[in-house]
Amino acid sequence: MTCFAKFLAARLRSFGFALEGLSFAVKSEGNVRVHLAATLLVVALGYGFGVSRGEWMALIGAMGLVWLAEMLNTALEILCDSVAPERSDGIKHVKDVAAGGVLAAALAAAGIGALVFWPYVFA
């Protein structure tokens, strides 16, 4: 196997692991399913209203940041529960701060969505 083929095989395995993580999060976390539903709704509305390229860039960026925040939050919660399964004020604060990051990202995304879709809905 050539060096490039080994590199390519390793990258494909990495994508597989990432897809496994995404699948696990969707199956196990209710909030991830809420974000999935919101993502599908935004994509459907975007196509339905025929939003511009720039608007798509804003929407995709916002959705990507929410997904990033939610996936990191989920990973952090799993890690915290594995490392310290007993109740701990410190772990609670870590989880709360991570959840606050998701909320901040979701509120920013909702603001972007409102700015993009408002003229289409109320024009």
Residue 15 lies in a domain: no
Residue 112 lies in a domain: yes
Residue 56 lies in a domain: yes
Three-state DSSP string of 56-106: HHHHHHHHHHHHHHHHHHHHHHHHHHHHCCCCCHHHHHHHHHHHHHHHHHH
Taking only the tens place, the pLDDT of each residue in 60-80 is 999 999 999 999 999 999 999
Give the pLDDT of residue 1. 76
- CATH value at residue 73: 1.10.287.3610
Residue 1 lies in a domain: no
As a whole number, the mean pLDDT across the chain is 96
Number of domains in the chain: 1
Residue 20: which pLDDT band, with cuts at 50, 70 and 90? very high
Give the pLDDT of residue 123. 82
The pTM of the full predicted model, rounded to 2 decimals, is 0.91
| CA–CA dist 3, 119 (Å, integer) | 53
Residue 4 lies in a domain: no
